[in-house]
Amino acid sequence: MTLRARLTVLYAALFGGSLLILSLVVYLVLRVSLLRQVDSLLLHTADSMVDVLRVDSTGRIIFSHAPDVNVAVQAQVWGRDGRLHDTLMNIIQDTQPLDPSGLQSNRPTFRDVYRRGQHLRVLSVPLFVGGRWMGTLEVGANLAVVDATLENTLIVQVIAAAGLLLIAAFISWLAIGHTLKPLDTVTATAMQINRADDLSQRIPYQGRPDDEIGRLIYAFNQTLERLELLFTTQQRFLADVSHELRTPLTIIKGNVDLMRRMKTLDEEALVSIDQEANRLKRLVGDLLLLVQAESGRMRLNMAPVELDTLLLEVFQEMRVLAGEKIHLHLTDIDQAIVQGDRDRLKQVLLNLVSNAVQYTPPGGDVFLSLDKVGNQARLVVRDTGPGIPKEDLPHIFERFYRAEKSRHRSSDGGFGLGLSIAHWIVDHHGGTIEVASQEGEGTTFCVWLPLLQEEENLSEEG
């Protein structure tokens, strides 16, 4: 059974149950109301009859004259000896008690009695003379009209309930179908995506975006968008890895073929093979590091880190790398302590400074500085290189993304993974990394890290 059919049956069952309860309540209220009217009539009639009763010379209780009562009412007067003293039968004559059990009652009682195919409502009233019980007056009314009214009401309720139930089921079927129609669209879109492998499709929805269906479709579209992004990123990742692997492997194979043809070892070819092997080693290392970072398996050994000491280490190491080609300057340094992984933070600084040195032309300058701004430490790496095009700035932290238009790089060039790893490290230290660049004027990277609490307190006291 489909969801639409199950919901229709459920709603119809709930509606039918409500109708049943309502009909039962109406039926019972009507019955009680009609019986109260009959009981009121019997009480009034009994009072009128009691006023015209008298005891004759033989001790029998009889009507002194015929009372003015409803023609549908019949009455009997019974003595305490169980004998019938007098009757008032407007319908049929009967010498049997209307309600045998009521003859022994010491207080007025109402009972429903079935006798001779008739349904009677009988009121039994004990008669007292001078405080002494003398007999019983029984007044009865035929309930044929009441029964017919209740029966007709029940028939009308059944027919009306059946009709309303069918109408409610039909309306529910249409309403549920209209409500669930977007789910058919979701299913059709999912099937189409599955057949065509096209994650760019989205599910259209014209209803309210804040209802259950709207939120479901929004979440589904968000999932499609995420899957499309991941799929595109995966394709680009595989293409970039293939390219980065192909270039050094091609160089290595070419040099090996050259030495095979020469049948001798060539020092220049061996140096080239060694350089490309080192490039492959760095690529594999960066890839493993990035996979560990993104999968959550890379642990950070958090401890207090003196950023000023760390920056001096990086400055000394990179000054050797820059040599006479680039002028490396330490313009400003302040004492700052953060909670972090010293090796990973050093990796961030080495990556930023090595990039600045690599892309700055000979004779250019690279400036390093460290200061405290509020409750954060700010590390700045600024170069006087060619800068990064404006359209490339939003993508420089993506994997394998490089701002230069050509993929051809020198043997000591990177793979476009360093900034992605640096961004992950800074982010997992609770910090941020920013970049500002102007073509022809250079690039500035700023790393913001939260100060250690003790260091922050000392800074505020100072």
Residue 432 covered by a domain: yes
Domain boundary among 237, 265, 295: 295
Residue 273 covered by a domain: yes
CATH number at residue 116: 3.30.450
Residue 457 corresponds to which tokens in the numbers above? 């307190």
* Residue 430 φ/ψ, nearest 5 degrees: 75, 20
Q: Rounded mean pLDDT of 342-346?
A: 91
pLDDT single digits (tens) 95-139: 788 888 888 888 899 999 988 788 989 999 998 877 788 889 999
Verify that 141 and 53 share a domain, yes or no: yes
| Longest Cα separation, the chain | 160
Rg of the chain taking only CA atoms, in angstroms: 51
Residue 81 CB neighbours (<10 A): 8
Identify the pLDDT of residue 303. Answer: 92
Verify that 250 and 314 share a domain, yes or no: no
- Is the pTM value of this prediction over 0.75? no
Does residue 358 carry a pLDDT above 70? Answer: yes
Structural domains counted in the chain = 3
Verify that 256 and 338 share a domain, yes or no: no
Q: Supply angle C-alpha 175, 180, 182, rounded to 5.
A: 125
Lowest mean pLDDT, pick from 53-67, 301-315, 351-365: 53-67
Residue 153 DSSP SS3:
helix
Greater confidence (200 vs 253) lies with 253
Residue 77 covered by a domain: yes
Does residue 462 carry a pLDDT above 80? Answer: no
Residue 200 CB neighbours (<10 A): 10
Q: Rounded mean pLDDT of 421-430?
A: 90
Domain boundary among 260, 295, 330: 295
Identify the pLDDT of residue 454. Answer: 61
Residue 373 covered by a domain: yes
Does residue 285 carry a pLDDT above 90? Answer: no
Domain boundary among 149, 181, 201: 149
Residue 281 covered by a domain: yes
Residue 47, domain extent: 3-149
Residue 173 corresponds to which tokens in the numbers above? 């079927």
Verify that 38 and 124 share a domain, yes or no: yes
Identify the pLDDT of residue 340. Answer: 92
Verify that 282 and 138 share a domain, yes or no: no
Query: Where are the strands (E) in 96-196, listed by range?
Result: 109-115, 118-129, 132-142
Verify that 290 and 334 share a domain, yes or no: no
The label of the residue with tokens 């492997």 reads 249
Describe the crossing of helices 144-196 and 212-262 by its angle, rounded to 10 degrees.
20
Residue 419 covered by a domain: yes
Greater confidence (367 vs 319) lies with 367
DSSP for 53-116, please give it.
EEE-TTS-EEESS-----TTEEEEEEETTS-EEEEE-SS----S-S-GGGGG-SS-EEEEEEET
Give the bridge partners for 127, in sequence order. 135
DSSP classification of residue 434: E
Verify that 93 and 63 share a domain, yes or no: yes
CB-based contacts of 89: which residues, under 8 Å, 6+ apart? 74, 75
Q: Is 171 left (phi over 0), alpha (psi -120 to 50) or beta?
A: alpha
Verify that 265 and 308 share a domain, yes or no: no
Q: What is the pLDDT of the chain when averaged over all its residues?
A: 84
pLDDT single digits (tens) 365-419: 999 999 999 899 999 999 998 988 888 888 888 766 665 543 334 444 455 677 8
Verify that 356 and 250 share a domain, yes or no: no
Residue 446 covered by a domain: yes
CB-based contacts of 290: which residues, under 8 Å, 6+ apart? 399, 417, 420, 421, 424
Identify the pLDDT of residue 455. Answer: 57
HSE toward the beta carbon, residue 172, CA cutoff 13 A: 20
Task: Pick the closest to residue 375 from 456, 268, 277, 270 (CA basis).
Answer: 456
CATH number at residue 425: 3.30.565.10
Task: Report how far residue 329's alpha carbon sits from residue 164's, in angstroms, rounded to the nearest whole number.
Answer: 88
Verify that 278 and 335 share a domain, yes or no: no
CB 79 within 8 A of CB 134: yes
CATH number at residue 252: 1.10.287
Verify that 277 and 351 share a domain, yes or no: no
Residue 243 covered by a domain: yes
Verify that 377 and 346 share a domain, yes or no: yes
Does residue 349 carry a pLDDT above 90? Answer: yes
User: Which amino acid, residue 98?
Assistant: L
Give the bridge partners for 136, in sequence order. 78, 126
